[in-house]
Chains A and B, each alone.
Chain A
Amino acid sequence: MVVAVAAAFAFLANAMSPRGLNLARNYFPKAAPTAQATPKVSASAATQAPTPATPAVSSPTNAPAENSEIEETDQRIKDKGLQPVERAEMERIYNSPRYQQGYVIFIDARNPDFYADSHIPGAYPLDFYHPAKDLAEDLTPCQNAEQVIVYCTGGECEDAESTAIMLRDDAHIPTKKIFVYGGGFDDWSGHHLPLERGARNSGLPPEANK
């Protein structure tokens, strides 16, 4: 009897919780590999972006272990039929006028707390586990952009890939426009690249102790 009542309470609490899970949803979609999945696609080359000032290669300062981890992540991204992007190219895109003009957008697929704490300046929030509100706001920029680059924490985090698949399958964003930054936020912040805190385009610097 205790088990039955506790189980009923548990499912009811989940249904009423704003952070509750949707029992019917597949949170770990496995995309079928597509034809363009195998080669590493340059995000800038894919849409005829202005010629970059530096070639799209991995940073030479990467330690071997770090490179190995990124390669592993990139391979996982390709296996899901998605296109990986490296940090060097992310930096170039970030500094290009195309990013400021919205031709390229970044999607932060981490949870709202992490986003509020710190994110790549100008990135749109999209909480993969509770996407309804964010997706309504992000859909138009995604449709208008030529490239949509999704990131999460990086490494073992698969939320960026899941979000990319959701954008493709549910929001009908063309696959060729969607890229995944495998290194993710940890790679970006670990190389002391620009960050902002709070809302999108707040311009606020991250807190010093974080």
Chain B
Amino acid sequence: MNPRAGTITDYITVATRWLLGGVFVYMGLTKALEPASFLKLVRQYDLVHTPFLLNSIAASLPWFEVFCGLLLLAGIAVRGTSLALTAILIPFTAVVWHRALILQGAKGIPFCAVKFDCGCGAGEEFICHKLLANAGLIVVGTWLLAGRGRLLAIRYSLSSQGLPPKPAPAPAAATET
């Protein structure tokens, strides 16, 4: 753990890191425990037609999210994990948006009245709520990507720079004056 005391901004940043990690653990577990249901939802997007590819996405994505969420909660490889999650959130949001537009056209209802299970892990949601939530998660991910959230991180970076600073050697004659 980083023993340095943090500012209020540091604590807020840690809270957002935990929030992002917690959301992904929860969403991932919801899908990972019912992979067959998630498989059907992924299929509805009609983006992948090869069974192996479709199964691989449905089988791995939820656990991928759980793993990344745990890394964020623990504060391990924070920037790399944030980058990975933000990188998948952006295309997912675009795909969900596109499907909502299709449903809106089919049902002839206002965009924000479109409600469906996007396979995100929270069941049926109104599309505008979902897009706002995703936008929030992307902002948090980008915020962490900028190098914040070091407080209470077990291993902020996998490189040596992520290790806690070594204590300075005791000055031999520091008190001599």
Give A residues with C-beta under 8 Å from B. Answer: 1-3, 5-7, 9-11, 13-14, 17, 19-28, 111, 128-129
B38-79 interface bits toward A, Cβ cutoff 8 Å, 1 = contact, 0 = none: 010001000000011011101111111011100100000100
B68 partner residues in chain A, CB cutoff 8 A: 2, 6
Please tell me which one of the listed residues A3, A17, A22 contacts residue B84 in the complex, with CB atoms under 8 A apart. A3
A–B pairs, 23, beta carbons within 8 Å: A1-B158, A2-B71, A10-B60, A10-B62, A10-B64, A11-B59, A11-B60, A13-B66, A14-B35, A17-B35, A19-B33, A19-B35, A20-B59, A21-B36, A23-B56, A24-B55, A25-B55, A26-B51, A27-B51, A27-B54, A28-B43, A28-B51, A129-B39
**What's the minimum C-beta distance from B77 to chain A, rounded to whole angstroms?**
5
**With contact pairs A1-B158, A6-B67, A9-B67 given, residues A19 and B34 touching in the complex (Cβ less than 8 Å):** yes
Q: What B residues does A20 contact at CB under 8 A?
A: 35, 59
The reply to whether B71 and A14 form a contact with Cβ atoms under 8 Å apart is no
User: Are A21 and B67 neighbours in the complex by a CB distance under 8 Å?
Assistant: no
Q: Among A1, A10, A20, A26, find the residue whose CB has the most chain B CB atoms closer than 10 A.
A: A10
CB contacts (< 8 Å) of B63 on chain A: these are 9-11, 13-14
Which residues from chain A contact B93 at a C-beta distance below 8 Å? none
- Chain A contact residues: over half helix, strand or loop, or mixed? loop
Given contacts A10-B59, A13-B66, A26-B51, 12 further A-B contacts (CB under 8 A): A1-B80, A2-B83, A6-B64, A6-B67, A6-B71, A9-B67, A21-B39, A21-B58, A21-B59, A23-B59, A27-B55, A129-B39
Closest chain A CB from B149 CB (angstroms) = 15
Known pairs A10-B64, A13-B63; A19 contacts B43 (CB<8 A): no
Closest-by-CB residue of A relative to B79 is: A2
Contacts of B16 in A (CB 8 A): none
Task: Tell me, in angstroms, the Cα distance from A34 to B152 when the chains sit together.
Answer: 64
Complex contacts, A7 vs chain B, CB 8 Å: 60, 64
Q: Name B78-129 residues within 8 Å CB distance of A.
A: 80-81, 83-84
B153 on the interface (CB 8 Å rule)?
no
Complex formed: what's the CA distance from A3 to B56 in Å?
Answer: 15
- Measured CB to CB, the nearest residue on chain B to A24 is B52
When distances are taken between beta carbons in the complex, the residues of chain B under 8 Å from A19 are: 33-36
Q: A14 contacts which chain B residues (CB < 8 A)?
A: 35, 59-60, 63
B44: nearest chain-A partner, CB-CB: A156
**B32 close to chain A: CB less than 8 A:** yes
* Chain B neighbourhood of A24, CB < 8 A: 51-52, 55
Whether B84 lies near A2 (C-beta < 8 A) is yes
The 3 nearest A-B residue pairs measured at CB = A10-B63, A10-B60, A2-B80
Chain A residue nearest to B37 (CB atoms) is: A111
> Inside 8 A of A111's CB, which chain B residues have their CB?
34, 36
Q: Is the CB of A25 within 8 A of B34?
A: no
Contacts of B83 in A (CB 8 A): 2
Instruction: List A contacts of B61 (CB < 8 A).
Output: 10
In the complex, what residue of chain A is closest to B88 when comparing beta carbons?
Answer: A3
Instruction: Name the one of A6, A10, A13, A129 contacting B36, with C-beta atoms under 8 angstroms.
Output: A129
Give the docked Cα–Cα distance between A9 and B69 (Å): 13
A13 CB contacts on chain B under 8 angstroms: 32, 63, 66
